[in-house]
């Protein structure tokens, strides 16, 4: 009887261990036939409750986006457009300080392909994605989707299941309903921030307000401001009655709005709703806009003028002479063309920023921008007496234009920073970025105080009170940036500056952490680096274990990820406490193994996992496979105390936000070292 009980206990222990391999997403594929040569590959995912999976388009700086790779496309089929996906939710992450795009419960992905090889039997699709709850899991699947015999299959709009081969076991499920869903306001379990449509509306309102301010700034430039009295005077004099003049001026303002909103519609139509956000996070998109904004900034600062061909303006002027509403519409178009040297750079910047909000973003941006320009023309036509209160044109208009040039220059480096973060090249780390912004805003402050002049400036004998106030504000902002070089968080600029971890000195130049972590001047052991909270850390298991044996200390083995939110929470809120920081500094050797490290393994070190049967081609996959093979779990964060020989000293734990509980766990493992 005892033997039977022991066998039963062993059986359930085995089941329990197996259940630790988490696979919260179950997949099913199907095919829709579009034509004799085109089919749609459909990927349906069902996500377990409380888990969420990230979109392909989730912004840089947060969790890792989903990636689709079509491995055997060459010579067999062509991709038509990009992989589209069902609506995602937008949730603010207070850990990464960016909006993240994620799916809960279910998701669908669709890719149209054109079969070029009639003998092609299947489409091999590799999908890599991150799924999180309290732990984060870096997952990948390989699907082998059978293609129909194109000439033999009749066209149908009904999805038919295909035999799907997945490289890890997954239960067959019912295809989830992917009809249009109504988003509700939810709260993310990790961040506590609002979700869904409310957050999206907040983002669009923000872009409208910023665009309106951009339009107001464009209004105060030499290209637009002088046009207000000229245009309003034209309408009031040419109209037979005051009411007609007001009506024509209002239509003129509406025409301005129509022209710029049409530009937003064109941008959205060309790139599409799903592609705009992907474009905004694209490396080449950000580099191109960096160069473009440098070009715009040089123009605003007086190096040259950006003008559209004179022939365009002449043709539009002729149409404006037709009179009536059509003529007024062409007058508005003439204003847009003539003022392009001042409005073009602002419009370009707004379109780039608003594209992050999806297809409707550029439309909302152009609505805000054009409303700010159109409003004065309508108001001054209704109340002509107000024009007496307008300041006269003069050198102050060029001051506004130059000020916009400094802002364009600062924004340019934000786009370059985006590209650098994606590529992880560490060329524009936090200190370098802040140094550039301090130089730009410092030069702007000196300019506003009248200490330097640029090509189109008038001689300055004194500065106005308004200019003085702006100069003081820019100076204060410049001083606000300076402590960021020494570790100040600069919370006002969260999401604009590179994160603290993307830095030459993660805690600022000369900063000493109150957690009593390793001094930044400490000579590092071979293969070690300064890790979270200034701790000495290793990113290779064998190298870290060798050092632990040399100094005769236990190891804290840390399975983590670059895009793991709860890993950062543990480091920032638990590891940073005084008592735990002292333990991590003095009593253990920290080995952090990143499961999402995308660097390729040398060809000779790549292998096929015995535990999962997957190809292990990157450093991250190597450590993830090590975690699965040894501990039968694939979630991060995950912590174990080892002795210098690599043997476990205590029971591993995952996310443990209670500092006292985590401290007790650390001490229980360390106390067994050497016994």
Residues of the chain with pLDDT under 70: 1-20, 97, 150-203, 221-223, 225-240, 267-282, 306-325, 327, 334, 336-346, 348-349, 351-360, 381, 384-396, 421-422, 491, 494-496, 499, 501, 505-522, 563
Task: Please check whether residues 547 and 638 belong to one and the same domain.
Answer: yes
* Residue 544, domain member (yes or no): yes
Contact yes or no for 517/533 (Cβ under 8 A): yes
Residue written as token pair 């890993």 = 567
Residue 134: which CATH number? 2.60.40.1250
Examine the domain organization and report whether 248 and 378 are in the same domain. Answer: yes
Check which CATH number belongs to the domain holding 632 and give it.
3.40.30.10
CB contact at 8 A, 20 and 632: yes
**Residues 166, 145: Cα–Cα separation, whole Å:** 10
Report yes or no on 210 lying in a domain: yes
Check residue 13 and give its pLDDT.
42
Q: Is residue 313 part of a domain?
A: yes
> Which helix (H) or strand (E) segment is 221 a member of?
none
Q: What is the pLDDT of residue 161?
A: 40
Specify whether 227 is located in the same domain as 322. Answer: yes
- What ranges in 483-618 are assigned the alpha helix state H? 541-551, 565-569, 578-586
Distance CA 642, CA 542 (A): 13
Q: Which helix (H) or strand (E) holds 529?
A: strand 529-530
Which among 146, 161, 196 is the end of a domain?
146
Co-location of 330 and 208 in the same domain: yes
Pairing of strands 638-642, 555-560: antiparallel
* Residue with the two structure tokens 């990464």: 96
pLDDT digits 0-9 by tens, 184-231: 333 333 333 334 444 455 467 777 888 888 787 777 765 676 666 666
As a whole number of angstroms, the distance between CA 534 and CA 591 comes to: 14
CB contact set of 334 (below 8 Å; sequence gap of 6+): 313, 316, 317, 320
Q: Are 618 and 602 in contact (CB under 8 A)?
A: no
Could you tell me which residues come within 8 angstroms of residue 139 by beta carbon, excluding any fewer than 6 positions away? 23, 25, 128, 129, 130, 131, 634
Pair 381, 257 in one domain? yes
Is residue 333 domain-resident? yes
Shared domain for 372 and 232, answered yes or no, is yes
Give the Cα separation of 344 and 376 in Å (integer). 19
CB 551 within 8 A of CB 517: no
**Are 241 and 385 found together in one domain?**
yes
In a shared domain, residues 210 and 338? yes
Q: Are residues 541 and 636 in the same domain?
A: yes
DSSP 8-state secondary structure symbol assigned to residue 600: B
For 146, list phi and psi in degrees, rounded to 5: -65, 135
Task: Decide if 588 is inside a domain.
Answer: yes
Domain boundary among 355, 374, 390: 390
Q: Could you tell me whether strands 589-594 and 536-538 are parallel, antiparallel, or unpaired per DSSP bridges? A: parallel
- What is the tally of structural domains in the chain? 3
With tokens 């409208």, the residue in question is 208
For β-strands 106-115 and 52-54, DSSP reports them as: unpaired
- 217 and 342, same domain (yes or no): yes
Rg (CA), the chain: 30
Torsion, Cα 208 210 216 221, to 10 degrees, reads -130
Regarding whether 378 and 247 lie in a shared domain, the answer is yes
pTM above threshold 0.85:
no
Which residues span the domain enclosing 262?
A: 204-390
| Residue 442 resides in a domain | no
Domain membership flag for residue 325: yes
pLDDT at residue number 319: 54
Beta bridge partners, 529, equal 537
Query: How far apart are the C-alpha atoms of 238 and 250, rounded to whole Å?
Result: 15
Give domain status of residue 633, yes or no.
Answer: yes
Domain termination site, one of 342, 359, 390: 390
Q: ∠ CA(522), CA(527), CA(530), 5° rounding?
A: 45
Spatial distance between the Cα atoms of 157 and 172, rounded to a whole number of angstroms:
22
DSSP string computed for 616-628: E-BHHHHHHHHHH
- Torsional sign, CA 249, 255, 261, 263: negative
Same-domain check for residues 131 and 211: no
Q: How far, CA to CA in Å, does 202 sit from each of 17, 92, 360, 361, 368?
A: 45, 12, 13, 12, 15
């Amino acid at each position: 009887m005892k033997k039977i009980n022991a066998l039963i206990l062993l059986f359930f222990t085995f089941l329990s261990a197996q259940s630790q391999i988490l696979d919260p997403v179950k997949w099913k594929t199907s095919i829709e036939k579009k034509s004799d040569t085109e089919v749609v590959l459909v990927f349906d995912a069902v996500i377990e409750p409380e888990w969420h999976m990230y979109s392909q388009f989730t912004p840089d700086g947060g969790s890792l986006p989903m990636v689709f790779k079509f491995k055997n496309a060459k010579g067999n089929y062509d991709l038509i457009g990009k992989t589209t996906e069902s609506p995602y939710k937008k949730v603010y992450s207070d850990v990464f300080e960016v909006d993240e795009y994620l799916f809960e419960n279910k998701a669908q992905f669709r890719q149209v392909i054109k079969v070029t090889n009639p003998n092609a039997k299947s489409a091999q699709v590799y999908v890599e994605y991150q799924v999180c709850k309290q732990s984060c899991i870096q997952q990948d699947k390989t699907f082998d989707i059978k293609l129909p015999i194109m000439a033999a299959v009749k066209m149908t709009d009904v999805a038919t299941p295909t035999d799907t081969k997945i490289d890890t076991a997954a239960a067959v499920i019912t295809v989830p309903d992917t009809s249009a869903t109504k988003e509700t306001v939810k709260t993310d379990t990790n961040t506590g921030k609002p979700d869904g449509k409310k957050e999206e509306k907040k983002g669009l309102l923000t872009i409208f307000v910023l665009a309106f301010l951009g339009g107001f700034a464009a209004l105060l430039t030499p290209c637009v401001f002088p046009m207000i009295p000229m245009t309003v005077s034209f309408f009031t004099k040419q109209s037979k009655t005051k009411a007609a003049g007001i009506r024509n001026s209002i239509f003129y303002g509406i025409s301005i709005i129509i022209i710029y909103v049409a530009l937003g519609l064109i941008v959205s139509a060309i790139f599409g709703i799903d592609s705009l956000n992907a474009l905004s996070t694209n490396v080449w998109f950000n580099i191109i806009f960096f160069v473009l904004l440098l070009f715009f900034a040089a123009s605003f600062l007086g190096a040259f003028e950006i003008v559209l061909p004179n022939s365009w303006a002449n043709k539009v002027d002729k149409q404006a002479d037709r009179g009536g509403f059509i003529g007024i519409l062409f007058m508005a178009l003439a204003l847009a063309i003539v003022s392009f040297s001042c409005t073009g750079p602002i419009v370009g910047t707004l379109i780039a920023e608003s594209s992050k909000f999806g297809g409707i973003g550029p439309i909302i941006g152009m609505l805000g921008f054009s409303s700010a320009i159109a409003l004065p023309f309508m108001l001054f036509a209704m109340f002509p007496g107000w024009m007496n209160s307008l300041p006269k044109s003069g050198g102050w208009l060029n001051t506004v234009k130059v000020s916009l040039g400094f802002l364009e220059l600062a924004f340019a480096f934000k786009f370059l920073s985006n590209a650098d973060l994606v590529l992880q090249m560490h060329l524009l780390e936090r200190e370098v970025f802040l140094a550039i912004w301090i130089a730009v805003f410092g030069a702007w402050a000196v300019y506003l105080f009248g200490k330097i002049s640029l090509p189109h400036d008038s001689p300055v004998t004194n500065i106005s009170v308004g200019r003085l106030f702006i100069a003081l504000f820019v100076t204060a902002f410049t001083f606000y940036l300076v402590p960021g070089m020494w570790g100040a968080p600069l919370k006002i600029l969260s999401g604009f500056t590179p994160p603290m971890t993307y830095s030459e000195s993660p805690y600022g130049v000369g900063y000493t952490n109150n957690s009593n972590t390793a001094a930044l001047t400490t000579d590092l052991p071979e293969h070690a680096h300064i890790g979270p909270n200034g701790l000495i850390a290793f990113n290779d298991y064998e190298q870290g274990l060798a050092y632990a044996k040399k100094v005769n200390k236990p190891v804290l083995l840390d399975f983590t990820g670059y895009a793991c939110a709860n890993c950062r929470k543990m480091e920032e809120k638990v590891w940073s406490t005084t008592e735990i920081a002292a333990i991590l500094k003095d009593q253990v050797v920290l080995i952090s193994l990143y499961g999402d490290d995308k660097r390729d393994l040398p060809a000779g070190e790549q292998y096929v996992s015995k535990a999962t049967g997957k190809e292990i081609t990157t450093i991250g996959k190597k450590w993830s496979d090590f975690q699965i093979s040894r501990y039968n779990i694939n979630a991060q964060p995950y912590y174990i105390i080892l002795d210098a020989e690599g043997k476990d000293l205590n029971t591993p734990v995952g996310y443990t936000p209670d500092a006292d509980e985590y401290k007790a766990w650390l001490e229980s493992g360390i106390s067994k070292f050497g016994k």
